[in-house]
Structures are given as C-alpha cells and as structure tokens.
Amino acid sequence: MEPKRFEFAVRYSKLSFGGDVLTIDYRVAPEYPYPAALEDAVYAYKWLIQEKEYEPDHIIIAGDSAGGGLALALVMYLRDHRLAMPGGIITMSPWTDLTNSGASYTDNYETDPLFGNSTDNMLFHSSYIGEADPKEPYLSPLFGDYHGFPPVLMQVGSYEVLLSDTLEVAEKLKRAGVRRRLSVYEGMFHVFQMGMDLIPESREAWEEVEEFLRITCGISRKPDGKVVKRVKTRRKKTAAQVAGRVLESMKKNLPVR
C-alpha cells in the first residue's frame, strides 16, 4: 500500500474509534479506463454488505482527489440502482469535473503548487475517460443529480485548481436538500490533509473529519447540515512552500507497505 494510503487508513480508523477501514485497490488507467474503477468500488461495497454483513448506514465512503470523485460517483450509482445507501461521504479535494471547465482551472492556475502552471498533468490528459463522454455523471459527478444523498463533508484548499469542483458540487447538494458541510481552507493546496499533524490546517481538517464521523455514526445526532465554513490562516509561507515541506516529510517518515 502506498505510504499516504496507509497513513490515511490508520487515521480514519483512529478517528472512528477503532473502526474497520477498507482501502480499495481499484483498477487504474490507462490499462483500465472508465468504468473499471467504479465497477471495483461497487463490487467492494456489495462485498461489505452481502459477504461481511456490515450495516450500510454504518459505512462511510471517503476519498481524496480522484478517489473523492469516485466516492460521489459510487453513491450516485447506488442510489440510481436502488441499492442500500451508506451513512455518509467524506471528500478531500475531489476531482468531479473531467471536462476541466470550472473557473478555478484558470483562476488558480498560478497558485496551485501541485497542478498549476502546467497542462501537462493528469487533470488535462486523463486516460481514465477512454471513449466515454467526460460529462457522464458516473465519470464526472459534478454533472449528476444529488437528491437522496446521505450527509456529505467536503474539504478543499482555496489555492487548488480543483476548487470549483468542490464548490459546484456543494451548491448542487444544497439545492438537493442534502445535509452537507463545506470547508474551504485558505491558502491550502491539493489534499493538504496528507500533512497530518505537521500543519495546523491539516490538524483542523482531521478534527472536522472526527466530528463528522461521530455525528454520522450515531454517537451524536446534532444537526450538522447546510454549514459552510471558510477556514482562514495567517500563514506567511506560500502554498508551494508548505506543500513542499509536507511532501518532503512524507518521504522521510511514512512507512512503506
């Protein structure tokens, strides 16, 4: 397992008070374009319910980046096929628009330290699309319908090229009457939560995840929906400097599995 995935799995288990975490090793492009990843996610979800007999409303679907978009697509598929819905969804910097048409693709072109200042990356040359229409909702969930969704926590950095991918989905969730929490972390980069406890913004984001897990797993039923939160920072360093520090620390400290 990649170091980041291992660290995320450990953190999710800890924040859910020792809960089980299933990390899906789904098929990836270019060898396996759409809908391979979605098919694997559906298979894994059915396995949890039918073979392992987990209660659907005790399952939280979580994902970051492309995995965040896949999490939304999975739940969209479950609803459309009248399958049991999970208890909630967590997305971190989800990639929901494979047409790359959002405003932040140009507005944040020079501020995103990971995907900015270049079109020579996976966002602009996705082999996952294959022969499909990039506006297909199971491929680009931004273009889907969100009625009937469970509660959703969405986190994103304000400097991201993918910022609009989150903001536009959050607006659709609002219009669909879905309980959702949107947090935009000022000055943060793509999946800054991989910084774990290295930076205050990441620590706060994981505390927010813990709160969401408590509520959706039934420990608390206080209403948490329709909250929009913008988290500010007084950080003097640029997003690129912070991202570089986080990535360098990951290389040195994370175990390899």
Instruction: Kindly name the residue from 16, 65, 104, 140 that is annotated as catalytic.
Output: 65
Q: Is the bond leading into 30 cis (omega within 30 degrees of zero)?
A: yes
Instruction: With H, G, I as helix, E, B as strand and everything else as coil, classify residue 211.
Output: helix
Q: Please state the length of the chain.
A: 257
- Cα–Cα–Cα angle for 35, 177, 185, rounded to 5 degrees: 75
The Cα-based distances of 257 to 7, 26, 254 in angstroms read 10, 17, 9
Q: Taking the mean position of all CA atoms in its chain, how far away is CA 198?
A: 20
CB 69 within 8 A of CB 94: yes
Q: Taking the mean position of all CA atoms in its chain, how far away is CA 220?
A: 23
Catalytic (active site) residue 65: yes
Q: Which residues are tagged catalytic?
A: 65
